[in-house]
A and B are shown apart, each in its own frame.
Chain A
Amino acid sequence: MRENEHHEHKANQHDHHDPAEDLSLPERPLDLAEVRANLQSKSGKQYWRTLEELSEDPNFTEMLHREFPRQAPSEWDESVDRRDFLKLMAASLAFAGLSGCGRTPEQHIVPYVKQPDGLVLGKPQYYATAMPFGADAIGLLVESHEGRPTKIEGNPDHPSSLGATNVFAQASILNLYDPDRAQTATQYGEIRTWSQFLDAAQSLAAAFKATQGEGFRILTGTITSPTLAAQIQSLLTVYPLAKWHQWEPAVSDGAREGAKLAFGNYVNTVYRPENAEVILSLDSDFLGSGPGHIRYAREFSHRRKLDQFAEDRRIGDEMNRLYVVEPTPSVTGASADHRLPLRASEIQLFARALASKLGLGGSPALPPNAEKFLNAVAKNLQRFPRNSLVIAGEHQPAEVHALVHAINAALGNVGTTLYYTGPVEAHPVNHIESLRQLCADIEANKVDTLLILGVNPVYTAPHDFDFASKIGFNEKTKSKKVRTTIHVSSHFDETSELCDWHVAESHYLETWGDARCFDGTVSVVQPLIAPLYHTHSHREVLAAFSDQPGVTDYDALRDRLKAANPSADFEKFWRKTLHDGVVAGSPFAPINVSPKFDPASLPAVKVGSPNEIEFIFRPDPCVYDGRFANNGWLQELPKPVTKLTWDNAALVSPKTAEQLDLAHNVAWRGGEHGKIYSNVVDISLSNSKVTAAAWILPGQADGVVVLPLGYGRKRAGYTGTNKGFNAYVVRTSDALWAATASSNAVKRTGEDYPLACTQYHFNMEGRQILATGTLEEYRKNPNFANKHAEAPPPELSLYKGEKEYPYEKMQNRWAMAIDLNSCNGCNACVIACQSENNIAVVGKDQVMRGREMHWIRIDRYYKAESPTNDPSTYNESLDNPETFFQPVPCQQCENAPCEQVCPVGATVHSAEGLNDMTYNRCVGTRYCSNNCPYKVRRFNFLRFQDWETPQFKLLRNPEVTVRSRGVMEKCTYCVQRISNARIEAEKLNQPIADGAIVTACEQACPTQAIVFGNANDKNSRVAKLREQQRNYSILAELNARPRTTYLAAVRNPNPELEKT
């Protein structure tokens, strides 16, 4: 009955065509029971990516096999019918000749009037700076072409970067050039000059002088900048009754309060995963998010590089081991050797039971199926005292953090695998209490002037605070509760709309400043460009309320550094600091603290009954708390685990989906490749309601619904407005990270919604693409990855290949090796590639047609291995599959199948064996893409690049052609970097040194999973990796001889937890 209703509904919604024409297969919702049965019928290692491919849905098979499923309209706009299309084509043909006529227009050369010192035209320059992000700062080196920053790289000298970056740092360059940025100060929406704002601020300041600042409130996010903090403190000294509030929506108070509970005051924890043999993460995504995660990922991966040299230390066939207990799959969970999905509230039970097991007292009560896991973990941790590490998740409550401090102390880990320092935040407070206080004071009419710096509380504050009513104009009473509200932000957003004043905020690449990173090191924020618009920094706005409104950021920074670092030669110190990007000697020294806290004294944990649904809130891996909503690169970036783009979705486990009666449908309407429709649900939670699309995510804990934050923005800009649903709407101050409700809280609306999931694209259909094994298997047979397919001898090929190109004898044989053991799917390479190679954003509609343009994609695989029906096994393949990531750029085949079918010679071999793509020759037949076994070619179906917006002209890398419509493109191994390195080497008449060419993906990778170099140079890193036995090439049996090879993923499971 339900199905019938469903079909009718779908017919109404998606069928615009005459039913007589409809030759499609009947649509049917995903049947999870069938998926389970199919999984269990399989034996041996099986890899799968989507539930649909396991369900054997004929619609889905059709979608995979045919680029254009039966009768699927392939036009890009269904409003144009065949007759109109032919007319247009005829006209285009008639006028085609005309467009070719005429000379190219005159161009001008506009030189400098006075060229800056040290600048050579045509040569990029690099400046050290840092991106402040929450309680961390990522050290960067930014590439600048004649004064315009174009590419962001990590700063190798910076402790939180070590030369790598993450997606936010990479994509932040697009924020600088975002055409939707606020460009000037406004008052009630009218444009105001900065001096008008200064006058207004000074007259407010004069009034506060009389009242000692009574009613003056400042609201900021987390601040680690010593200079900015000093500015605020000096204001608070002048106005002693003024108050500073903080609100960071996506960072939990758990870590801060946990430290307070354990040690009595706020303490910062720095981890050293490098020294840990065994790591247990309790809902911590320390490899993928949070302060220091780039460094942690590097350190963690060092211990998993089998038979390699990492930092001059050989790692043999030993590995560390990672256990993860978490409610929803994260990047860290996907890298785990053992993973246990538990509800967020059950994590605390687990932590208490672990503490009790380690003899710290407290309750040993446990969630039912976690016993075996806990025993194994506890035993394993105890085997490595001083060299184990337990990490509590950012979104876990204070109790878990306190317990973990106690556990680490009991295991003797303090000093080896972690250490404590003073707080990195300039002024640590409990954020939710701070915001609550502000709201209460506004209600009590104690607030006269509110200055909001950077944050967007109207969008992000818990809905029970109803922040909009606090600062907005009340139509009924015709009054406002706060007399003057001033908002400083990069975009005119939800909060700006309700404030009297809005000051446009400068990007971090436009201002001088500083920030502390996760270990306390002070980094200098150095501008790369003068502000593009009439924008100002937080410090300048604060200074407007002081006696010295005219002090520049530059002077303020220098004065503070001079005061903090008295040295004889300050100029020398200053220049060195600017060059290095970090202030020498500024990291915090470890402090000695010991937990004064008894786990037995904790009050009992409240755990909902198994029938209840637990809703958890998480910052989105792409748009974070919503601040990156208008960033097209991040919107189109497939999220690490779900691989969804352009939307968030309410994530549920397969079992919960069955319980709540939720499914996906494969539908062919809407163009080639079809679409996946998800059921839409109404979520009623804490007296509020939100409508969301549901997405079934294997590996999630049962009974948990994840509501990712950051979407559903009402005023984000052209790209970010009205994408996804707004989870803040159902988030309350007493349940910031988890809320429980009965299962009635989730109701299907009967509607369906298409989600753009890239994991359906470029499917390689069961061929052996991924090779994985256990450490045990690796020790027995290091060559396990190659046992399934041997590459045929080169002579067998019909291609000219080595007959024409003597690859072995060439001076340079470029190759790439990707270590699947190190890759954790963080996506930094994808954005780095997009930024380096001017790759276009295509939009959700085009992504659903499989037309995303990313040159490197990261496939996410689930592994199924001889599942059993025993419900006590912790690792059931649908509910908790092992997860693997595989980055796939162009494989640069030596016998490239794409080249053989190009009718115009647009893709040909270079003399060094690179598979060149020549855009100006390409006529767009797409034969090459069709013939590519790896599906790495991307076609510009439309003119995806924005050629008009002037800001984007500044953004582009001048070393790479901007492609137009009708042209094929693909990964080039960053041929522009190869060319430049070759030219520099040839000028010196030397061979190109190993490491002189670093591809964009390699440079961004936090775990050094990608290595590029010359395979014919026996001493190069890539040649050594290719020598390794676990090195294999994808589809070796095709004899395409790809230059990109992979090192098989090896996991290190605990034999005690092996499946029975």
Chain B
Amino acid sequence: MAQIFHRSTNFIARFSVFSAFFLAGLGVIVVLAVARSPYMTRQNVVREQPVQFSHKHHVGDDGIDCRYCHAGVETSAVAGVPPTKTCMNCHSILFNNAEYLEPIRESYRTDKSIEWNKVHRLADFVYFNHSIHVNKGVGCSSCHGQINQMPLVFQANTLLMQWCLDCHRNPEQALRPKDQVFNMDWTPPADQAQIGKKLAAERNIRTTAELTSCSTCHR
């Protein structure tokens, strides 16, 4: 009986099987890559705001301390976005006629909040606490990047769980002297590995096992 398929079709069959696996694998890689891409994580994506508030100007040029506005950062889980009142502390005197600042004055006049666009967003099942990181000597710029150079704030890191764990597994790399925590230009010294270890011991940083337990961040 004559064969229905010519021998040459074997290649097509093999090729199809191979490409099915290849495509499936490629699909998985693409999905994972997209999930980690700045498109999804919004890393380095600059966000428009109702008032184009410049951290570069206020922090970099004027040298205002982070805690003047983000007052809860040492005591609370959230650093806190300041009330309109905080803006008006200065801007009732400085640039008090600038068109640019009208939304601020309007908010103050009408008692209606300004709706800022959230830049750093964690999933709802993640319970990050600013105060403990700051108190243990993790600087602002370790996570937020050099805010003093950002005219408009963008997310400097991926905020993926893997990124959190990189540090929770090796907290030494991010520990600074306490007076450097709010320094945006801090760079780790060459012997950070030793200094970090010493600081970790001094500050009773918990073990990696404790820092990577699920309930440390999820509950």
Contact = CB atoms under 8 A, between A and B. Distances in A.
B76 A123 contact: yes
B23 interface: no
Contacts of A962: 124
B107 to A, nearest CB: 6
Interface stretch (B14-22, B126-134, B184-192): B126-134
B218 A961 contact: yes
Contacts of A972: 215, 219
A975 interface: yes
A911 interface: yes
Interface string B1-35: 00000000000000000000000000000000000
Interface residues of A, number: 40
A111 B116 contact: yes
Interface stretch (A99-107, A323-331, A625-633, A864-872): A99-107
B55 interface: no
Interface string A166-198: 000000000000000000000000000000000
A111 B127 contact: no
B85 A983 contact: no
B127 A976 contact: yes
B113 A987 contact: no
B72 A113 contact: no
A976 B126 CA distance: 12
Interface string A103-121: 1101111111111000011
B71 A916 contact: no
A104 B123 CA distance: 10
B115 A108 contact: yes
Interface stretch (B92-100, B141-149, B206-214): B206-214
A922 B213 CA distance: 16
Interface in A89-142: 103-104, 106-115, 120-123
A33 B203 CA distance: 70
B131 A983 contact: yes
A912 interface: yes
A56 interface: no
B68 interface: no
A122 B80 contact: yes
Nearest to A987: B135
Contacts of B107: 113
B214 to A, nearest CB: 4
B160 to A, nearest CB: 13
A115 B85 contact: yes
A912 B213 contact: yes
A125 to B, nearest CB: 12
A989 interface: yes
Interface residues of B, number: 48
A115 B83 contact: yes
B162 interface: no
Contacts of A914: 213, 215
A621 to B, nearest CB: 32
A547 interface: no
A916 B85 contact: no
Given A920-B123, A920-B218, A960-B219, A121 B84 contact: no
Given A122-B76, A983-B132, A111 B214 contact: no
B111 A113 contact: yes
A159 to B, nearest CB: 33
B40 A112 contact: no
Nearest to A113: B84
A919 interface: yes
Contacts of B72: 120-123
Contacts of B112: 113
Given A106-B117, A961-B219, A979-B215, A920 B125 contact: yes
A438 to B, nearest CB: 47
B117 A108 contact: yes
A912 B210 contact: yes
Contacts of A978: 215
Nearest to B133: A983
A468 B112 CA distance: 47
Given A106-B118, A976-B127, A983-B131, A911 B207 contact: yes
A259 to B, nearest CB: 52
Given A110-B115, A983-B132, A120 B75 contact: yes
Q: Taking chain B's interface residues, is the majority helix, strand, or loop, or is none over half, making it mixed?
A: loop
Interface string A949-961: 0000000000111
A908 B136 contact: no
A987 B209 CA distance: 20
A122 B116 contact: no
A989 B76 contact: no
Contacts of B182: none
B101 interface: no
Contacts of A111: 80-84, 113-114, 116
Interface string B28-70: 0000000000011010000000000000000000000000000
A961 B219 CA distance: 6
A910 B113 contact: no
B81 A987 contact: no
A122 B132 CA distance: 13
Contacts of A22: none
Nearest to B31: A100
Contact of B132 (A104, A120, A912, A987): A987
A122 B83 contact: no
Contacts of B135: 986-987
A108 B75 CA distance: 23
A609 interface: no
A108 B118 contact: yes
A918 interface: yes
Contacts of A983: 129, 131-132
B123 A108 contact: no
Given A114-B83, A986-B132, A109 B216 contact: no
Nearest to A121: B80
A112 B42 contact: no
B219 A120 contact: no
Contacts of A121: 72, 76, 78, 80-81
Interface in A59-95: none
Nearest to B136: A986
A985 to B, nearest CB: 10
B108 A113 contact: yes
Contacts of B40: 103
B80 to A, nearest CB: 4
Nearest to B218: A918
- Name, among B107, B132, B212, the residue most crowded by chain A CB atoms within 10 Å (CB to CB): B132
Contacts of B164: none
Nearest to A102: B40
Interface string A897-932: 000000000001111101010111100000000000
Contacts of A107: 117-118, 121
Given A103-B39, A976-B219, A910 B214 contact: yes
Contacts of B118: 106-109
B81 A109 contact: yes
A910 B83 CA distance: 38
Contacts of A120: 71-72, 75-76, 80
Contact of B78 (A106, A122, A975, A986): A122
B113 A122 contact: no
Contacts of A113: 83-85, 107-108, 111-113
Interface of A: 103-104, 106-115, 120-123, 908-912, 914, 916, 918-921, 959-962, 972, 975-976, 978-979, 983, 986-987, 989
Given A108-B116, A975-B219, 20 more contacts: A104-B121, A107-B117, A109-B81, A110-B113, A111-B83, A113-B107, A121-B76, A908-B214, A909-B213, A910-B210, A914-B213, A914-B215, A916-B215, A921-B214, A961-B219, A972-B219, A983-B129, A986-B136, A986-B206, A989-B204
22 contacts: A109-B115, A111-B82, A112-B113, A113-B108, A115-B83, A123-B76, A123-B77, A910-B214, A911-B206, A911-B210, A912-B213, A916-B213, A960-B219, A961-B124, A961-B125, A961-B218, A972-B219, A976-B127, A983-B132, A986-B204, A987-B131, A987-B135
